[in-house]
Amino acid sequence: KSESKYGLEDNKRTGAYAIGILIGFNIMSIITIIAALSIEKTPILEDTLLFLNIITILVSLFYSFYFFEKKKHTYIFEKYQNESFKKKKIRNIYVTLYIILSVALLYFAVYVGRENWIIEN
């Protein structure tokens, strides 16, 4: 009895939440990369980056909760419910690639931010 009362629907919701969070991290990563490459190093920059990242995370989370509370994700699941096995495999490959590229983008943003914004004493 480790499965919840919602069963498969609960797994779909969890996956949708995970993708929503990844989208938020992608937005944050892109903002970080753009800011790191276009803003000059200053001591105030760390506070600015922290504030910018917190705002981006909060906006992404609120948008995700709004999207899922309004049940807009069920439309997507219903749309692809009756597709063929081959199309499901291709879609799963795309989702897996998206997850891998999202993690790579996050690591790249951290690397670029660290290389461009560390201030030597």
> Does residue 43 lie within any of the structural domains?
yes
> Which residues have C-beta within 8 Å of that of residue 63, sequence separation ≥ 6?
20, 24
**How many domains is the chain partitioned into structurally?**
1
Angle at which helix 45-69 crosses helix 85-117, to 10 degrees, equals 160
Query: For 77-106, what is each residue's pLDDT tens digit?
Result: 677 677 777 888 888 898 889 889 988 998
User: 3 lies in a domain?
Assistant: no
pTM of the predicted model as reported, rounded to 2 decimal places:
0.64
Both structure tokens of 109: 């943003």
* pLDDT at residue 36 in the model: 78
Is residue 44 one of the residues assigned to a domain? yes
Residue 2 lies in a domain: no
| Chain segment 15-74, per-residue pLDDT in tens | 777 777 788 788 878 887 887 787 776 666 666 767 777 887 787 777 777 766 666 666
Q: Are the beta carbons of 61 and 24 closer than 8 angstroms?
A: yes
Q: Judge whether 94 lies within some domain.
A: yes
Tell me if 82 is assigned to some domain: yes
Range of the domain at 47: 9-117
Residue 90 placed within a domain: yes
Percent residues over pLDDT 90 in the chain: 3
